[in-house]
């Protein structure tokens, strides 16, 4: 086990994410834990970042209530991805959402990760939406005309005029810096940062949630100034993930932007389920994630 990473993780949890953890998951009341990304590091082929970039990620959030885990995402990238002729299948979509509970860096934890496949038109190694365990991750940026590594992305966006003149924040990956030791080889080695499932064991499905449903559950990215054109999310059974400290992350398939969250999941065995509003309008917006089978391979074959 990488003990230096354990130390770093505890420091990050205690320091960098105090603001998000202050409104995060509590064992006594269900609340959202937010990880807010830079608003000026979503790069596109023409060199645009920020609100005009289809790859600008603004934030993600997590809530647990004892029975379920809820995920919310605010971004300019839709669930169907962004059409781009030079990409695999002509579409650049989201990668998979990874959870690392091991305390090790991302390379060292590979093969012992959890991950969630949720988006359409992806290059994921799994075709059925849901939660996976014993996941081995891979990188699909090269086949999507993407960045070679995180330094490549950071150097590119930090040198754009909006960031050089102080008008933007530049590259950051949510709760972590783009050169954080956690990313290991992904910082400066070509096509190494994990952004897609290569293999894993599916252990449960997900329920897709639209923006209205998430708002009914108290999700509010606007309080942080996040203005992504798409807000969506999903829920799944709490028992599908272990308890303890974790780092979760997600990238676009081209690594044009990404977000990470440092957090903790309470022991489900000692947390009493908390009331979460579920009006009929919310329930009507639920869609069984297991029905989402729109992989790029299926799309290109049709």
**Per-residue confidence band for 269, with pLDDT thresholds at 50, 70 and 90:** low
Closest CA to 209 of 232, 193, 237: 232
Distance of CA 201 to the CA centre of its chain: 19
Backbone φ and ψ for 261, nearest 5 degrees, come out as: -130, 130
Dig out the tokens for 273 from the structure.
């389920």
d(CA 28, CA 220): 20
- The alpha carbon torsion through 43, 49, 52, 54 (nearest 10 deg) reads 20
Q: Kindly tell me if the per-residue pLDDT of 283 is higher than 60.
A: no
Closest CA to 51 of 70, 77, 71: 77
Which helix (H) or strand (E) segment holds residue 58: the answer is: strand 57-64
Decide which of 107 and 46 is more confident: 107
Identify the pLDDT of residue 278.
52
Distances (CA, A) of 21 to 27, 35, 36: 13, 9, 12
Report the SS3 class of residue 212. helix
Sequential DSSP letters for 91-133: EE-B-PEEEE-SSS-HHHHTTSEEEEE--SS---S--S-EEEE
Closest CA to 77 of 60, 102, 64: 60
Identify the pLDDT of residue 30.
75
How do the domains of the chain map onto residue ranges? 3-301
DSSP 173: B
Residues with Cβ < 8 Å from 152, sequence gap 6 or more? Answer: none
Place of tokens 């993600």: 60
Identify the pLDDT of residue 275.
57
* CA-based torsion, 100, 70, 250, 205: positive or negative: positive
CA-atom Rg of the chain in angstroms: 18
**Per-residue confidence band for 109, with pLDDT thresholds at 50, 70 and 90:** very high
Identify the pLDDT of residue 274.
55
Runs of H (alpha helix) within 117-233: 150-158, 161-164, 211-216
Identify the pLDDT of residue 160.
94
Supply the mean pLDDT for the chain.
85
Q: First and final CA of the chain: distance in angstroms?
A: 45
d(CA 291, CA 82): 21
């Amino acid at each position: 086990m990488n003990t230096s990473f354990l130390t770093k993780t505890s420091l990050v949890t205690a320091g960098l994410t105090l603001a998000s953890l202050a409104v995060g998951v509590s064992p006594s009341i269900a609340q959202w834990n937010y990880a807010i990304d830079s608003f000026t590091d979503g790069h596109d082929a023409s060199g645009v970042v920020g609100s005009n970039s289809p790859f600008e990620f603004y934030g993600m959030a997590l809530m647990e209530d004892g029975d379920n885990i809820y995920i919310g995402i605010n971004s300019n990238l839709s669930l169907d991805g962004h059409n781009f002729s030079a990409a695999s299948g002509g579409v650049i979509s989201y990668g998979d959402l990874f959870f690392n509970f091991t305390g090790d860096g991302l390379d060292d934890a590979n093969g012992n990760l959890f991950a969630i496949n949720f988006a359409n038109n992806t290059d994921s190694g799994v075709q059925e939406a849901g939660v996976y365990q014993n996941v081995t991750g891979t990188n699909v940026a090269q086949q999507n005309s993407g960045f070679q590594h995180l330094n490549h992305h950071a150097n590119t966006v930090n040198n754009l005029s909006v960031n050089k003149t102080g008008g933007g924040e530049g590259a950051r990956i949510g709760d972590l810096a783009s050169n954080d030791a956690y990313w290991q080889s992904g910082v400066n080695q070509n096509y190494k940062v994990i952004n897609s499932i290569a293999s894993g064991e599916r252990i449960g499905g997900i329920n897709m949630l639209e923006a209205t449903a998430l708002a009914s559950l108290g999700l509010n990215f606007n309080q942080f100034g996040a203005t992504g054109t798409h807000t969506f999310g999903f829920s799944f059974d709490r028992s599908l993930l272990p308890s303890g400290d974790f780092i979760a992350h997600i990238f676009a398939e081209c690594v044009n932007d990404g977000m990470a969250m440092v957090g903790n999941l309470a022991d489900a065995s000692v947390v009493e389920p908390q009331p979460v509003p579920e009006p009929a309008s919310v329930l009507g917006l639920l869609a069984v994630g297991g029905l989402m089978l729109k992989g790029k391979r299926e799309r290109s074959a049709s």
